[in-house]
Amino acid sequence: MNKIKHKIIVIGCLFASMSFITSCMTNFKRGKKKFDLHEFHEAIQYFEKAEASGHPPAQTHYYIAEAYRMSSQMEKALPYYQKAIQAKSREDEARFHYAEALKFMGKYKESHVLYEQYAKNGKNYKLRRKARTEIKSLEKLEKMVKEEHNYVVTNCEGINTSQAEFSPMIHKGKMVFTSARKATIFKGNGHAYLGIYAHDFKHPTKFQDEATLYEDDIHHDTEHDASPTFAHDGSFMIFARSGNQKKGRQTTDLFISRRQPDGTWGEAELLEISSEKAWDASPSISPDGKRLYFSSDRRGGYGGNDIWVANLTSSGRAYNVRNLGSRINTRHSEKFPYVDNQGKLYFSSTGHWGLGGLDLFVATRRDGKIKVKNMGVPFNSASDDFGIIYNTDSTGYFSSNREGGKGNDDIYHFIDKTPKTKDFRYFLAIDVATEDTTTNEDIPLAGSKVEVYEGSVGDKKLIHTFTADAKGHIKEFAVQTKKEYVIKAGNTIGTIKYLTNEEEYSMLGREADPDDPKYKKAINDIHLETTIYLQPVLINTNTPVMEAIIYYDLDKWDIRPDAAKELDNKVLTFLKDNPKIIVELGSHTDERGPDNYNLVLSQKRAKSAVDYLISKGIESDRIKAKGYGETDLKIKKATTETEHQENRRTTIKVIGILDE
């Protein structure tokens, strides 16, 4: 009897032990599965249960540390890297990231020792190179931290909470920013999903009222919405969206939302340049509205996330994406680009040397050379510092999760109290010319009439009228920074008739840099030049005088708000400036889809655009609609979406002149 009882006890212990081991392994496997899905918050919980069940701490501590690091919680990662190494973790990269975490927490001496060890003994070649770079940067830090400055930095306490607040933007009297305040929780880090919020902007640092959701129209409970940037006229905004795998979106993408006639925001659409195979985020429109900067890990970069730029039209079409190059981008990550009115590029990087985490940098171009400079203290700290903007020439905001904040990323205000020793005056000269199609040389157009307006094509006020001299030249006149101008030129005095042309000229982004050593005087004059080109009136040629990109919804031909803006700013303005010409408005498709279908659809779209222009006051006998379908492709055998978009266009051809 006693033997039987003993066997039962032994078997029971074996089952209990097996159950304990199974539970331990099950929790670890579940944690690893969540980790691989980037659901780091739940992964940490499973790893902690596995550790409590007796799973080897070298593994659990390492993966907990990695989960915290990859969810941007480096301060929580630090002790687990230490524990993993003490537990004899075989993970080579744990040593590097432990050094990285120490630097992030401002423990530079300890970090320096570990970086040196990894540079000698580490197995990952890329991380060994990074370790050597970090060693050099740590040697510069002591000098940087001691540099004197005239900046005052203040935490914007009324906006900041224990959650994340970052990417501030001033738009139409409001501080628009990103914050983790949505009702739903993101499994990646256990915090709320990011959303776009706004606060009435009445004082630069005191925000007393409650911040509210910026727009319900673009709010999605189970997706991150972040880092909005606005068209200068407020007609559209571009922002980053991610997080909803049920909708098939596993990466971060750029979206555009357009202001509707009733003042609401339209449903956000994927921006055409955004790659669904890459992480695209941190969008920023340049001061003149002609370029879109963003961060991406798409193919063709230098490693990690790079800064890229695309051309941008006034209707929100982005195209011609290119990388900013190796002077800006590194093997690691560059994010949160911003261009100020002097044309300086600000961004954050983990690849250029810095104090720890993301550091803020400024890039300037002088004499064709790009120089990148760490912005130093007080902008940078041992933590993440990013998302800078300027509100005036000497004030602005940035984001940081530095020590002393409210608990996560906070928004900070800064003011530069450096005494101002230089002033600038700006002057603009204009030339009017036509291009010789044989020699490609400019032919001056003497006697041209030039009108200069303040404002935009759709909303302008006449301020100057000039007549060009014998060389087609208009002497320089004073212009102001942060102003936008429209230059309208025409020539009717010769035997050749020319089409009147109207172009925008923006002073945004053209301010001189006071730090440039070539400006040595107390008052410096800046001389600017531009040329307005006029085309001769050529009737019934195959060469269009204008192309417009007009978007239509799938299988539809009604005029969308963005299409209306393109028609107003380009085609309507052209027809009003040249009231005697008769034109053909041609609509073209790409080569995808049946030939006859494309031909019928393009005719409907051409007629829809013509009807819109007639409703705006253009006489019906001055404009004809013609659908070309795919019969006149600009790019034969197009393969990329960019090439197909080049084929989907609207052309304007002169087909006659009204009788005098």
**pLDDT (tens digit, 9 = 90+) per residue, 647-658?**
888 899 999 988
Strand ranges of the sheet holding 253-258, from the earlier edge strand across to the other edge? 224-230, 236-242, 253-258, 269-270
Give the pLDDT band of residue 250 (cuts 50, 70, 90): low
Within 10 A of 261 (CB to CB), how many other CB atoms are there? 7
Please report where in the chains the tokens 């400036």 appear, as a residue. 577
32: closest CA among 21, 20, 40? 40
Q: Which helix (H) or strand (E) covers residue 380, if one does?
A: none
Cα 231-233-236 angle, rounded to 5 deg: 45
pLDDT reported for residue 2: 53
**pLDDT (tens digit, 9 = 90+) per residue, 165-177?**
999 999 988 999 9
Residue 247 DSSP symbol: G
Q: Which amino acid is at 33?
A: K
Name which of 68-72, 233-237, 426-430, 530-534 the model is least confident about. 68-72
Q: Indicate if the pLDDT at residue 13 is higher than 60.
A: no
In CATH, what class is 22-146?
A: mainly alpha
Instruction: List the structure tokens of 631.
Output: 């019969």
Cα atoms found within 13 Å of the Cα of residue 521, Cβ hemisphere only: 8
**Superfamily designation of domain 423-533:** Carboxypeptidase-like, regulatory domain (2.60.40.1120)
Q: Which amino acid is at 456?
A: S
**pLDDT (tens digit, 9 = 90+) per residue, 547-596?**
887 877 777 888 888 888 889 999 999 999 999 999 999 999 888 889 99
Burial class (CB in 10 A: 0-12, 13-18, 19+), 624: middle
What is the C-alpha separation between 152 and 279, in angstroms, rounded? 35
Where do the CATH 2.60.40.1120 domains begin and end in the chain? 423-533
Collapse the DSSP code of 452 into the 3-class scheme (helix H, G, I; strand E, B; otherwise coil) and give the result.
strand
Where do the CATH 2.115.10.20 domains begin and end in the chain? 151-416
Q: Indicate if the pLDDT at residue 463 is higher than 60.
A: yes
Strand ranges of the sheet holding 410-416, from the earlier edge strand across to the other edge? 151-155, 410-416, 395-400, 385-390
Cα atoms found within 13 Å of the Cα of residue 647, Cβ hemisphere only: 22
Q: Give a three-class secondary structure readout of 403-448.
A: CCCCCCCEEEEEEECCCCCCEEEEEEEEEEEEECCCCCCEEECCCC
What is the C-alpha separation between 656 and 540, in angstroms, rounded? 7
**pLDDT (tens digit, 9 = 90+) per residue, 466-523?**
999 999 999 999 999 999 999 999 998 878 889 999 999 999 989 999 988 899 899 9
Contacts of 336 (CB under 8 A, 6+ apart): 167, 227, 282, 284, 295, 347, 348, 358, 386, 387, 388
In CATH, what class is 546-657?
A: alpha beta
Contacts of 433 (CB under 8 A, 6+ apart): 442, 443, 444, 445, 472, 531, 532, 533, 534
pLDDT reported for residue 519: 92
What is the C-alpha separation between 87 and 263, in angstroms, rounded? 60
Within 10 A of 14 (CB to CB), how many other CB atoms are there? 10
Contact 599, 631 (CB under 8 A): yes
Note the CATH number of domain 151-416.
Answer: 2.115.10.20
What is the C-alpha separation between 280 and 321, in angstroms, rounded? 12
Burial class (CB in 10 A: 0-12, 13-18, 19+), 69: buried
Burial class (CB in 10 A: 0-12, 13-18, 19+), 302: middle
Contacts of 437 (CB under 8 A, 6+ apart): none
pLDDT reported for residue 25: 66
**pLDDT (tens digit, 9 = 90+) per residue, 420-455?**
889 999 999 999 999 998 898 999 999 999 999 999
**pLDDT (tens digit, 9 = 90+) per residue, 108-122?**
889 999 999 999 999
Cα 181-183-184 angle, rounded to 5 deg: 110
Region 619-634 average pLDDT: 93
CA dihedral (348, 342, 339, 387) in degrees, to 10, reads 50
pLDDT reported for residue 422: 92
Residue 265 DSSP symbol: B
What is the C-alpha separation between 122 and 12, in angstroms, rounded? 46
Q: Which amino acid is at 287?
A: P
Contacts of 280 (CB under 8 A, 6+ apart): 240, 251, 252, 253, 254, 274, 294, 295, 296, 298
Cα 174-177-180 angle, rounded to 5 deg: 140
Burial class (CB in 10 A: 0-12, 13-18, 19+), 394: middle
Helix pair 57-70, 40-52: axis angle to 10 deg: 160
Within 10 A of 203 (CB to CB), how many other CB atoms are there? 11
Contacts of 202 (CB under 8 A, 6+ apart): none
Q: What is the phi/psi pair of residue 570, to 5°?
A: -105, -60
338: closest CA among 490, 169, 193, 222? 169
Where do the CATH 3.30.1330.60 domains begin and end in the chain? 546-657
Collapse the DSSP code of 196 into the 3-class scheme (helix H, G, I; strand E, B; otherwise coil) and give the result.
strand
Q: Which amino acid is at 565?
A: K
What is the C-alpha separation between 464 and 451, in angstroms, rounded? 6
Give the pLDDT band of residue 209 (cuts 50, 70, 90): confident
